[in-house]
Structures are given as structure tokens and as C-alpha cells.
Amino acid sequence: MTFSQDPAPSDPWSVPAPPPLAPAPPPPAPGAWAAPGPVIVQIGDMGVTSTVVHTPAGDIPLAGSTWTVSDYWHHETKIPTWAIVASIVGFCVLTVFSLLFLLVKVTIPRGTVQVTVTNGTRQYVARIPVTDQGHVTYVHQQVNYVRSLAAL
């Protein structure tokens, strides 16, 4: 009986030897774009890595980019659904008084935050819908963080 060191190809427990490792690629030349890493910050439909801003219109280099933020708010006034239902149901019981429910108004803040990134001749504008001041503050904080990354 002879034993060989190489497992038989039909052996289900055999594991093939790993291929030899390829040499590491050379580092990028100074001034050349490095390969973008993982997304650090997501602002609307823009993904920001350590070197590039990914936009639906294409990539923009992060270094030297200029960021601007503008808030556009409006307040919408409407009659809430519960007041409309209460006036319809109450119309059968107290005709005149049930119509007073239609005087109830609710003010809803709505708006967008417009974030613009510019680098050279490339520009992209993202419009982010917001419904409260906390979300606006969060977008401003994200843009300030990205501004600090762009200045490095």
C-alpha cells in the first residue's frame, strides 16, 4: 500500500493550494488621483469619500472643492384629517356646530436644503427635503465636516 502526498482529485475533503500572491500595485504618482475609499458622509444623493465626491452626474475631486448650503422654507397650513372626519360625522348630530371643526388649522413646516459642491468647472446641486429644524442642522453639520476634509 502506497501513500501519496497529493490528495486524489475525487477526494471531497481536499483543499487546493492557494495561488501565489500577486505583488502589490505601486503607489500613485504625486498629484494623481488615488483610488476612492469607502463613503464617509452621505449628503442627499452625494457620497463623499476621502478623495472624491460621488454624484449622479460623475465624480468631483474633494480636494479644493467649495461647498455652499442654502435653506428654503415655507409653512403649509391645512385642515387636519381628524377635523374633516369630525365635521362630517357631527353634521348628522349638530349641523351648525360641527362646521366649527373646519376652522381648525395645522401649520406644517416644509422645505429643502440646497447643497452645492463646486470644483473648477464641475458643479453639482443636491436638494434635500426637510421637515424640521433638526434635520436642517444635521445637514449643515455634515457639510461643515466635508468642508474640513476638503481643506486637508
Of 124, 139, 127, 148, the closest CA to residue 57 belongs to 124
Q: Would the pLDDT of 29 be above 70?
A: no
- Percent of the chain with pLDDT strictly greater than 70: 76
pLDDT at 18: 57
- Percent of the chain with pLDDT strictly greater than 90: 13
3-class SS letters over 80-131:
CHHHHHHHHHHHCCCHHHHHHHHHCCEEEEEEEEEEEEEECCEEEEEEEEEC
Q: Would the pLDDT of 11 be above 80?
A: no
